[in-house]
Amino acid sequence: MKKILILMGPNLNMVGVREKGIYGEEAAESINAQIIDYSVKSGFNAEIYQSNHEGDLIDKIHSAKESFDGAVINAGALTHYSYALRDAIACVKIPFIEVHMSNIHAREEFRHTSVIAPVCAGQIAGFGKNSYFLAIDALKDMI
């Protein structure tokens, strides 16, 4: 069975608590359980990894080349300025799908630019937790 990594960046552990008008009221733990369940139903083993620390995310990306066939990444605010995260994705030769629960293009201007998008296979934004499910579906055709 193919294995995928679901990477979540800063503050995504607070979904359901923070900015409920943007991210909803469902707790991160509940969404994570649904992502794992959806992955299994889609034929994948999945691991979810969340960190509020850029270096930890980079280390996990580096280790992904040995252990995973593809990845879904919601880098949170790091999406918009972390060239280190971008470079880590670029050096790992597995497909990454960039995901955002909110529509980053309908929010503050600084959120409109993704520095990781050019090294990802695609970007899905604005569908809440369903953005993760759509990304898993996309990976089915890539790996």
Distance CA 97, CA 74 (A): 9
Q: Give catalytic residue positions.
A: 23, 100
Residues 104 and 68 sit within 8 Å (Cβ to Cβ): no
Angle at which helices 28-41 and 130-140 cross, to 10° = 20
Other Cβ atoms within 10 Å of 41 Cβ, number: 10
Distance CA 5, CA 71 (A): 5
